[in-house]
Structure 1
Amino acid sequence: MNRRAVAADRRAAVADRTDGAVDSPAGQGSPLPGPWGAALYEARIGHLRRTPLRHAFTHRSYLWLVDLDHLPPVPALLRPLARFRSADHPGDPGLTIRQNLTAYLAGEGIALDPAGRVLMLTQARSLGHVFNPLTVYWCRDAAGQPVCTVAEVHNTYGQHHRYLVEESPVPKRFYVSPFFPVDGAYRLRLPEPGARLDLSVRLDRPDGTAFCATVRGERRPAGVRALLAAALRHPFATYAVSAHIRYQGIRLLLRGLPVQPRPQGDAGP
């Protein structure tokens, strides 16, 4: 199959995966809305563990949607509340986030168009800390056509892994929760967000669906007022994510759920 046909197949697969949301406003050639050309999503994040015991919780936070070629111009006085650093994502910390993503995709046989847009959904480093369980990248070519989606996963052991989401389900290859082994497959629904954010991740194991997570939110144009409002509504948001994960882990331990061994050297690409 020639390269043009392969590219067409990739675009079609991405369109299928995004449930028709590839033409959402955030994916067009015009800048993202707002004075900073970025968006904030007030998000409600839900977790549901189905086996071997049932456990559910939700928490609220806020996420950024940014164009990797035009990161938001956060004023110096507010930068402690929002920093986007290569060192907080996989790859060479001396390169940009986009350059590292380009290098990863090249290793997967995808040449990222330098003139194409890449949107990243993530938490920014705030007050000296960040922990991103899930960062998502939506990549388009110069004509605005979808090329691929990448899901970047971090665990609480400082490790990370990228999934190139070309089809669903995606085999699980990375140790995330200490209460699940590295088996099964993820069903990922990651439509590029517009006015609304609506993502879901489902882990299917040999004995059925074991876990579901959802991320839902409403878009607000990013700017000084929006950032201050989000930071006041969710103080120490990045610390809260880490604390919440550990708190829920302690609850599961107290309920008698056994810890699964962590594979050695599972740092991910």
Structure 2
Amino acid sequence: MDSTLHSAQLCFGKVQHTRLRPVQHAFNYGVYFMRLPLRAMAQQAPSNPVLFSQNRFNLLSFWDKDHGDGQQSLISWIDALLQREGITDADGEVWLQAFPRVLGYVFNPVSFWFCHRQDGSLRAVLAEVRNTFGERHCYLLDTGEAMPYGIELTARKIFHVSPFCSVDGSYRFRFMRTSQQQDGKSVERTVARIDHDDAHGPLILTSISGTSHALSNALILRAFFFYPLMTIGVIVKIHWQAFKLWRKRLPFFAKPIPPSSELSK
């Protein structure tokens, strides 16, 4: 990977979603998201572009309280969680991938914490999932050792997300990183795939992908005007797609009692 990519990044890409059964339903949307180096940010206050702020209102902003337990610093929270789960060697950079607040509003269906070792290898990934009922659950993806990007990781589904899916089956995760040339520069492309399988096989295929760029005022303006009020659009599109599924007469599943623990492996 490009060794110069050590600061906050803005990524432009798309979200794709395909439902295979009992009726086919698919959509894709252009989006942008951020990738933030949490250890670097905790050790030294970054020099942010004028149009981006941390824990303050701005055109785009990132608030620590939107992630983790909403109280501790993000690095303290993730380090404590990893320690409790017996992961003691994720002492390198932790990259958090999430949507930013746009004019103060955000909804993150899923955020990813990529936890690395000092040598740069990936040690664990935490998928922080939220639903539209204001609930949150974290899936810790851990093989017990350093793992290459691109391998398949699995977790049993135990958290209610959509009223058109029962809380059963499992998730298959794949995270990929590649370098490519764009306008004469080396940029990083990331892909996060989450596929949901039930007892009959693959049910829903989803992914979020994007190309990373160093955060700048020009890119923030491009993001804001090309995708106006994107984070409000996220919640609107979730409900619009739910309406379309209802029109297709998909079975409806009532929200169960949420899991007692915020974390599963």
| DSSP 3-state at the match of 2:62 | coil
Size of the alignment, in residue pairs?
Answer: 237
Q: Say whether residues 1:219 and 2:212 are aligned partners.
A: yes
- For residues 227-242 of structure 1, the aligned pairs below 5 Å read 227-242=220-235
- Tell me the equivalent position of 2:114: 138
The SS at the match of 1:51 is coil
The alpha-carbon deviation at position 169 of structure 1 amounts to 2.4
Q: Distance in 1 between matches of 2:164 and 2:124?
A: 30
**RMSD of aligned Cα (Å):** 2.0
More strand by share: 2
Aligned equivalent of 1:108, options 82, 85, 88: 85
**Structure 1: which amino acid aligns with 2:27?**
F
Q: Does 1:208 align with 2:201?
A: yes
Structure-2 separation of matches of 1:200 and 1:265: 24
Q: Distance in 2 between matches of 1:205 and 1:85?
A: 35
Counterpart Cα distance in 2 of 1:254 and 1:113: 46
Q: Structure 1 residue 255: deviation in Å?
A: 1.7
Q: Which residue of 2 aligns with 1:87?
A: 65
Report how far residue 157 of structure 1 moved. Answer: 1.0
1:1-269 equivalences under 5 Å are: 24-25=1-2, 30-32=3-5, 37-71=7-41, 73-75=47-49, 77-79=51-53, 80-91=58-69, 93-111=70-88, 113-114=90-91, 116-166=92-142, 168-192=153-177, 195-266=188-259, 268-269=262-263
Identity of aligned residues (%): 30
Unaligned runs of at least 5 residues, structure 1: 1-23
Q: Name the SS for the 1:226 alignment partner.
A: helix
Runs of 5+ in structure 2 lacking a partner?
Answer: 144-152, 180-187
CA distance in 2: counterparts of 1:31 and 1:84, whole angstroms: 22
Q: Secondary structure at the match of 1:229?
A: helix
CA contact (8 A) 1:138 1:192 kept: no
Give the TM-score normalised by structure 1: 0.81
CA–CA distance in 2 between the matches of 1:68 and 1:209?
34
Amino acid at match of 1:191: M
User: What is the CA deviation profile of residues 149-177 of structure 1, one whole-angstrom value per residue up to 9, with x for unaligned ones?
Assistant: 11111111111111111252221121111
The structure carrying a bigger helix percent of its residues is 1
